[in-house]
Amino acid sequence: MTKSGAIKCLGKTFASEDERRDYFRNELRKKLPELKKIEGYPIGEDEDIIALSDPPYYTVCPNPWLNDFIPLIPRCLCSGSV
C-alpha cells in the first residue's frame, strides 16, 4: 500500500483491495481458456475457480502471474542467505 492508501500490484495502482481483486479476477477469467490446456487444471466451473482465487497472489488453477512475481523476490531470499 502506498502513503495515499492506493494499492500497488505488479506495476498497476488500485484505489482498494476490492478494485485490485476485481481487476485481476476479470483478467483471470480471460486467461482460463488457455489455462485449461495445462495438466493439473482443476475440475470445476469457471466462476467457482475465480471465486476461490485471489489473483494475482493465489489462484486455484495454475497461476498465470507466477513469472511476474519471480523477479520481485529479493535475491537474498533466492540464494538462501538473509
User: H-type helices in 4-65, by residue range?
Assistant: 17-35, 46-51
* pLDDT number for residue 47: 96
Q: Provide, for the chain, the percentages of residues in helix, strand and coil under a 3-state DSSP scheme, each rounded to the nearest 5.
A: 45, 10, 45
* pLDDT number for residue 9: 92
Instruction: Tell me the residue type at 78.
Output: C
Confidence of residue 1 (pLDDT cuts 50, 70, 90): low
For residue 57, the number of C-alpha atoms closer than 13 Å in the C-beta half-sphere is 8
* pLDDT number for residue 5: 78
pLDDT in tens, 13-67: 999 999 999 999 999 999 999 999 999 899 999 999 999 999 999 999 999 998 8
Confidence of residue 78 (pLDDT cuts 50, 70, 90): low
- 59 Cβ contact list (under 8 Å, min separation 6): 28, 49, 53, 65
